[in-house]
Structure 1
Amino acid sequence: MMVNKNVFSLILSLVMVFMLAACGEGEGTSSEAESSSGDKKVIGVSLSSVSDTFRTFIYDAMNKEAANHPDFEFVFSDAQDDSSKQMNQVENFITRNVDAIIFMPVDTVAAPDILNRVNEVEIPIIVVNQTFEEVDQATAFVGSSSLEAGLMQMEEVAKQLEGNGNVAIIDGTLGHEAQIKRTEGNMQILDEHPDMEVVLQSTAEWSRNEGMNLMENWLQAGQQIDAVVANNDEMAIGALLAIEAAGKLDEITVAGIDATPDALDLMKSGKLDVTVFQDAKGQATTSVQLAVKAANKEEVETVMIPFQLVNQENVDEFIEDN
């Protein structure tokens, strides 16, 4: 059953990528761009990227919730992890005079400028998933604490290693809020365990393939590794595949974040040791609901959605929910 869901999600992701690509920078899907109803309020959705599994889940859930608001037109754009492209797409929303914007930032550096630009024209803006230094200037924020995820993840790894061992950290794209805060959380826990040491650290750009390539290189270098702690599940899965191919799966603890269906399957089979559930559906659904309220001039507030630890003891609960 889980395999079918993963295949379906992949198909949705590919279809969505082609549709967004065909619509240019900031025009959304063709059906949205060609909407003939001039009575509908318009909400622009600026996505950082749809290149990884988790962000695809956010997009899918936003679309499902958008269907519950037929009086609104939702225009999606994919910045493809390019801050300048995201700024251009948001400028297009401003030119179109949309009634609200949902903003998933590419990175923490450019995000404040984009937020300030939207605030200048007094369009309500709901920031989703990634926080940054000036996020309190947004109309509302919907997301989870990346620091909490990093703390929770490394606490469980330390428990499984009994506070002793060599740790390799796989970062997401450098500069992303999730990369910065999740790794910061990891380091805070490591500071409490003097017998645990970071021996290797590099980025794999949130990618399964990059995670696998990086892990292959590390294994070939011969450094003793007791645990691999990745900023997301995709990179953890890539590392796990390399570790399994090298016949070292029983020797190295592997941890990710997001609790994607693939990760849960691998945990159920005893291969993945740790992940942390991030509620993509909750973030996406809530951000759309708040954007609709804001567009209707209703008051909205920030919503924080907690992470949850997933290990062998409770993995079945999360598989049932997916």
Structure 2
Amino acid sequence: MKKKIVAAALCAAMVSSLAACGGSSDSTTAAAAGDTTAAAAAADTTAAAAGDTQAPAAADGVVSVFYYTYGDTYISSVRAALDSALQTAGVEYQDYDSNNSQTTQAEQVDTAIAKGTSLLVVNLVDSGSDDAAKNIISKAEAAGIPVVFFNRSVSEEAVSGYDKAVFVGTDYEMAGHMQGQMIGEYLVENYDAVDLNGDGVISYVMFKGQEGNAEAIARTEFGVSDANTVLEAAGKADLSFYDASNSNLYLVDQDGAWSSAAANNYMQTILSQYSEANGNMIELVIANNDEMAIGAVAALQNGGYNLEDGSSKVIPVFGVDATDAAKDAIGKGTMTGTIKQDADGMANTIAQITQNYLAGADTFNDVDAANVVGTWRVNIPYATYTGEE
């Protein structure tokens, strides 16, 4: 989804109130537009070495952007796109890495407000309840500044209580629905090849990113239930979780990081206990995001499956996000499919809303009206990805 970034007239109007455009990584001051000097790079390196996740003092007018972690591959793609969009718009900004700690993020928000930030853009760490969001909204309202939440779900109740708060995300249930539909259709078309032991039932594992996260809950539920709907319509049996003793019917990343390492460790353990020779091999992998899918693929390759040269059997692996790594794996035939979460579309929408707030324009000016929900939310559409754009 393409969005206008800013009209020339708006840029001119903003020059007097905004400092030179630029972006900074964790713990560096916002640089001038296009600034890639050695001094700026050295500042980045020094700050990173010190482990500092707080930005130094910034001039009034700086937009503060808080990421739940720089380590998430999809979030990294949003960050790169948002940095670029803000630079193009001439908006000075400061990035913060909350390093998957809500306490750290809350402290960073306090610091940014104390330094005179003009606007908060927040990728929440803790989205399991409204508490973190309401706390940030309360601080933003007290300071009289707007707050744009993105990616990790915030409820209408939390956001709509403040007229300068919005959420940019997705209709998160759709990712699960689309993934489930994709999985079901694939299995119907390839059932005999996937059913390794020929028992008429597909054994699967589900990797869940985080407990309490709305996106993870929906993807975990609908990725399976919607696949079963397709299978049932074709006269096939429902999917069967590989471990009958696991009542949750999923394996969760205990760190809430949606990481490839967590899925890889789980999969390595599974493959040491379940095998094709024993007739109980896992025949399908479903992951809440591409990082976990890629971790599972690596473990399968260590076990002699999903090899890039096409010489091995392939256990179908499905994810969500359509990261570059996942698209590369799909192209090589080591991963089967994913649901594209549009990082560029999300970043451009955030940048446009940010400019609207700073310019005193309508909140959703130049935002695709088809994606706007009420007065508080924008949903960026998903798309299925199986190797062709």
Equivalent of 1:202 in 251, 261, 265: 251
Q: How does 1:44-193 map to 2 (within 5 A)?
A: 44-70=64-90, 72-108=91-127, 109=129, 110-133=132-155, 134-137=158-161, 139-162=165-188, 164-189=201-226, 192=229, 193=232
Any gaps of 5 or more consecutive residues in structure 2?
A: 1-24, 27-40, 192-200, 244-249, 275-279, 307-312, 365-376
Compared CA separation, residues 254 and 278, structure 1 to 2 (3 A): same
In 2, Cα distance between equivalents of 1:59 and 1:107: 19
The corresponding residue for 2:385 is: 310
Q: Percent identity?
A: 26
In 1, Cα distance between equivalents of 2:360 and 2:52: 30
In 1, Cα distance between equivalents of 2:388 and 2:228: 32
Query: Which one has the bigger strand percentage?
Result: 1
- How far the C-alpha of 1:232 sits from its partner, in A, is 0.8
- How far the C-alpha of 1:114 sits from its partner, in A, is 2.2
Greater C-alpha Rg: 2
Compared CA separation, residues 195 and 167, structure 1 to 2 (3 A): same
* Residues 267 and 299 in structure 2, CA contact (< 8 A), matched pair in contact too: yes
- How far the C-alpha of 1:96 sits from its partner, in A, is 2.0
Q: How does 1:253-272 map to 2 (within 5 A)?
A: 253-272=316-335
**Letter aligned with residue 213 of structure 1:** N
- How far the C-alpha of 1:190 sits from its partner, in A, is 5.2
The corresponding residue for 2:301 is: 244
**Letter aligned with residue 43 of structure 1:** V
* Residues 20 and 76 in structure 1, CA contact (< 8 A), matched pair in contact too: no
The corresponding residue for 2:269 is: 217
Compared CA separation, residues 160 and 104, structure 1 to 2 (3 A): same
RMSD: 2.6
The corresponding residue for 1:24 is: 52
Matched pairs, number: 293
Any gaps of 5 or more consecutive residues in structure 1?
A: 1-11, 28-32, 318-322
In 2, Cα distance between equivalents of 1:26 and 1:188: 43
Runs (4+) of structure 1 moved beyond 3 Å? 15-26, 135-138, 190-194
**Letter aligned with residue 179 of structure 1:** A
Secondary structure of the residue aligned to 2:329 is helix
- How far the C-alpha of 1:137 sits from its partner, in A, is 4.2
Secondary structure of the residue aligned to 1:161 is helix
* Residues 210 and 216 in structure 2, CA contact (< 8 A), matched pair in contact too: yes
* Residues 132 and 177 in structure 1, CA contact (< 8 A), matched pair in contact too: no
In 2, Cα distance between equivalents of 1:52 and 1:309: 21
**Letter aligned with residue 231 of structure 1:** N
Q: Normalized against structure 2, the TM-score is what? A: 0.69
Query: Which one has the bigger helix percentage?
Result: 1
Greater CA drift, 235-244 or 294-303: 294-303
- How far the C-alpha of 1:169 sits from its partner, in A, is 0.5
The corresponding residue for 1:277 is: 340
The corresponding residue for 1:7 is: none
- How far the C-alpha of 1:310 sits from its partner, in A, is 0.9
**Letter aligned with residue 388 of structure 2:** D
* Residues 143 and 304 in structure 1, CA contact (< 8 A), matched pair in contact too: yes
Compared CA separation, residues 308 and 69, structure 1 to 2 (3 A): same
The corresponding residue for 1:6 is: none
